[in-house]
Amino acid sequence: MKANQRTNNTQAKDNEVFCAGREAELQRLNEQLRNLAARLQSVQEEESKRIAGRLHDELGQALTALKMDVIWLLKRLTPADAELQEKAAGMKELIDRSIKTIRSLSTELHPSILDDLGLAAAMQWYGKEFEQRTGIRLQLAYPPAEAAVESAVANTVFRVFQAALTNAAQHAGASAVSVTVQTVDGRMDVTIRDNGRGISLEALQSARSIGLIQMRERVFSHNGTLEIQRADGGGTEIKIGIPLPLHSKSTTKAIVDLDVE
Ligand SMILES: Nc1ncnc2c1ncn2[C@@H]1O[C@H](COP(=O)(O)OP(=O)(O)O)[C@@H](O)[C@H]1O
Ligand SMILES: [Mg+2]
């Protein structure tokens, strides 16, 4: 009997050691994956920045030069060259559209406005562009006179904002999105809520929801928190909280209504 008990005890101890080993191993793998995700994200960010720069500088400039040439041609054509005039006018239109596409592509890849003017301006600018493109109404509440946010944090907040708006347009069937930014007790809280059909549990838990996983990883890399849920009264709500490196005191909100131009 005693011998049996001893065997059981030893087995239980062995199991404990085995479980602890497995847990440490899982933790190590988890950490490795986190590091890999962070690394991938920064590589992707760098690459996007590089391509955006080349698109804007090289292709954008070449098209602008081409447009000037077509304008030059148009000026030299007489009413007798009606057919040529029509052709050249068509070329100019196509070049204009291409310049616009390149601008929007390059900003989508890397919003240089974020580096130049900061988070609030970049969010307002992107919001306006989003409203014009999708017809979805956006209400953005950003604290007035917000102190400059560290660029890595600004980048993460902007990317989450961008991905959430894209999802609201692609999946939610929403007609309006509201975004609130607040800084309280050294933390930046951002809430993005749409009035669409509401995210499904399946989509929330799916390993294929790469956009959502990327959002989470970005926020976690700043030791932040992220919650995605169906909002009260329908729609989807995304809440993130990111600690700010410097302590900033609480601010009141200001509603900035974006007018579609
Ligand atoms: N705002 C939303 N409203 C409804 N469903 C959503 C919303 N955002 C995301 N989803 C669902 O979650 C899925 C995963 O989103 P995401 O990870 O961004 O991937 P993707 O946009 O490439 O499909 C979407 O395919 C969609 O089914
Ligand atoms: Mg998406």
Ligand nearest to the CA of 230: 1
pLDDT at 17: 82
Near ion ligand 2, which residues have CB within 5 Å? 167, 211
pLDDT at 69: 96
In the structure encoding, which two tokens stand for residue 206, read together? 């799916």
Ligand nearest to the CA of 207: 1
Give the SS3 label for residue 140. Answer: strand
Contacts of residues 246-250 at CB distance under 8 Å and 24 or more positions apart, as own/partner, are 246/147, 246/186, 247/185, 247/186, 248/147, 248/183, 248/186, 250/182, 250/183, 250/184, 250/185
pLDDT tens digits, 17-66: 888 888 999 999 988 988 888 888 889 888 998 998 899 889 999 999 99
pLDDT at 253: 40
User: Stretch 68-81: mean pLDDT, rounded?
Assistant: 94
Percent of the chain at pLDDT exceeding 70 = 91
pTM, rounded to two decimals:
0.76
Using CB distances shorter than 6 Å, the residues near ligand 1 are 167-168, 170-172, 194, 196-197, 199, 203, 209-212, 236
**Rounded to whole angstroms, how far apart are CA atoms 10 and 18?**
12
Q: Which residues contact 81 (CB under 8 A, 6 or more apart)?
A: none
- Hey, how many other C-beta atoms are within 10 angstroms of the C-beta on 95? 19
- Please give the distance, rounded to the nearest whole angstrom, from the Cα atom of residue 111 to the centre of ligand 2: 18
- Hey, how many other C-beta atoms are within 10 angstroms of the C-beta on 247? 10
Q: Are 212 and 161 in contact (CB under 8 A)?
A: no
